[in-house]
């Protein structure tokens, strides 16, 4: 089969190559999936450089989220049949076939394309854990979403609107903000390029945002604490800016706000029962058609570098997907 193999951990994906490798066979309790779509995420890019906390041994095939069709069952697998449309994750999505434990599979909702389904779980699970576990977003609250054009940010916009919040989408691109406003009916948008503190206060009548969703960190976090409402909550999702901010606790004391670290996967590992509930909840939303996962672009396996660059250069609105079947 063809696969995108990380042979060395190097900058600029220099250790990655598309090549023919042996098609894997499923062992007991495993399923082989014919991959129809695999979402591209920042951890995928980080793993090619050895910068992610999970460091597979080279050589390895990346691709943490995928959707496809069951191709072959390992011994002892029940509940699935060849041809079933499924979603899974963990490893191996950037290839024509992937082998994963049957326990990790979910049936693909019929109303989602393979590409939509591949890019759904991580982004929407993060939004769900942030807004319904780490804090409880209430109808009418002002929610400021940074990095709103990215997959994780756009899922937060979508889910916050579903909860009845008033959403401010923030990005450094007017073009991206227009797309978000047109497709997701946000209450306001803010271009953060020239600063956003005063604009957020203006939108919220001087109060500030009740909840701030921050996958960016760095300067964005620094300015966010200046426009958060008294008693507000900042949800720290990640640091795509590359700089880890430092919280001046005197400001937290004066404004009475809290900072919550959001690790959706770890939340489920620490609280298995609630983790299972979280996954059931987000897939129910998808099956009911209540959410709108957005796929910005699809690339063949041979176009993997262009797919990676859309993410690295922040050109995407929603998710970028690699389709080995193209």
Question: Which tens digits make up the pLDDT trace of 220-243?
Answer: 999 999 999 999 999 999 888 889
Q: Label residue 55 by pLDDT band (50, 70, 90).
A: confident
DSSP string, 29-62: TEEEEEEEEEE--HHHHHHTTT-SSS-PPSSEE-
Residue 308 pLDDT > 80, yes or no?
yes
What does the chain come to in residues? Answer: 326
The reported pLDDT for the residue numbered 95 is 98
CA distance 326 to 323: 6
Q: In terms of Cα–Cα distance, which of 101, 107, 133, 131 is closest to 120?
A: 107
What mean pLDDT comes out for the span 315-323? 96
At 78 the three-state DSSP class reads coil
Strand partners, 300: 323
DSSP string, 123-151: HHHHHHHIIIIIS---TT-EEEETTTTBH
Q: How far apart are the first and last CA of the chain?
A: 14
- 131, 267 Cβ separation under 8 angstroms: no
The reported pLDDT for the residue numbered 112 is 97
Phi and psi at residue 43, in whole multiples of 5°? -60, -30
> Of 90 and 211, which is predicted with more confidence?
211
Mean pLDDT of all residues in the chain?
96
pTM: 0.93
Per-residue model confidence as pLDDT tens digits over 175-191? 999 999 999 999 999 99
Containing 18, the helix (H) or strand (E) segment is strand 16-20
The reported pLDDT for the residue numbered 51 is 86
Per-residue model confidence as pLDDT tens digits over 276-299? 999 999 999 999 999 999 999 999
Per-residue model confidence as pLDDT tens digits over 76-120? 999 999 999 999 988 899 999 999 999 999 999 999 999 999 999
- 209, 218 Cβ separation under 8 angstroms: no
Residue 70 pLDDT > 80, yes or no?
yes
Q: Give residues with Cβ within 8 angstroms of 293, minimum separation 6.
A: 112, 116, 117, 119, 120, 123, 124, 155, 158, 286, 318, 319
The reported pLDDT for the residue numbered 172 is 95
Q: In terms of Cα–Cα distance, which of 144, 133, 142 is closest to 164?
A: 142
Residue 52 pLDDT > 90, yes or no?
no
What mean pLDDT comes out for the span 303-310? 97
The reported pLDDT for the residue numbered 9 is 96
Token pair recorded at residue 240: 């795509």
The reported pLDDT for the residue numbered 189 is 98
CA distance 301 to 299: 7
User: What domains can be seen in the chain, in order of their start residue?
Assistant: 2-120+293-323 (3.90.180.10), 122-263 (3.40.50.720)
The reported pLDDT for the residue numbered 42 is 87
Give the number of other Cβ atoms within 10 Å of residue 266's Cβ.
12
The reported pLDDT for the residue numbered 241 is 85
Token pair recorded at residue 167: 């959403």
């Amino acid at each position: 089969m063809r696969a995108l193999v990380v042979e060395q951990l190097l900058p600029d994906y220099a250790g990655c190559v598309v090549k023919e490798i042996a098609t894997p066979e499923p062992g007991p309790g495993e399923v082989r999936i014919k991959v129809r779509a695999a979402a591209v995420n920042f951890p995928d890019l980080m793993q090619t450089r050895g910068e992610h906390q999970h460091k597979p041994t080279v050589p390895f095939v990346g691709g943490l989220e995928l959707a496809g069709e069951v191709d072959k069952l390992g011994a002892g697998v029940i509940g699935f049949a060849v041809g079933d449309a499924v979603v899974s994750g963990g490893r191996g999505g950037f290839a024509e076939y992937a082998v994963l434990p049957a326990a990790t599979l979910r049936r693909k909702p019929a109303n989602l394309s393979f590409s939509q389904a591949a890019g759904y779980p991580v982004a929407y699970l993060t939004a769900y854990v942030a807004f319904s576990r780490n804090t409880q977003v209430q109808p009418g609250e002002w929610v400021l979403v940074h990095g709103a054009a990215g997959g994780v940010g756009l899922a937060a916009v979508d889910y916050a609107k579903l909860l009845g919040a008033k959403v401010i989408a923030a990005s450094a691109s007017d073009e991206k903000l227009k797309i978000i406003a047109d497709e997701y009916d946000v209450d306001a948008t803010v271009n953060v390029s020239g600063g956003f503190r005063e604009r957020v206060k203006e939108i919220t009548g001087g109060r500030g945002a009740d909840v701030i969703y921050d996958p960016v960190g760095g300067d964005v976090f620094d300015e966010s604490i200046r426009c958060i409402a008294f008693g507000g909550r900042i949800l720290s999702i990640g640091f795509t800016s590359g700089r880890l901010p430092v919280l001046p606790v005197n400001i937290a004391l004066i404004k009475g706000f809290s900072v919550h670290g959001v690790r959706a996967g770890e939340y489920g590992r620490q609280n298995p029962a609630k983790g299972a509930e979280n996954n059931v909840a987000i897939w129910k939303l998808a099956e009911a058609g209540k959410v709108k996962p957005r796929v910005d672009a699809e690339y063949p396996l041979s176009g993997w570098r262009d797919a990676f660059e859309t993410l690295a250069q922040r050109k995407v609105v929603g998710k970028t997907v690699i389709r080995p079947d193209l």
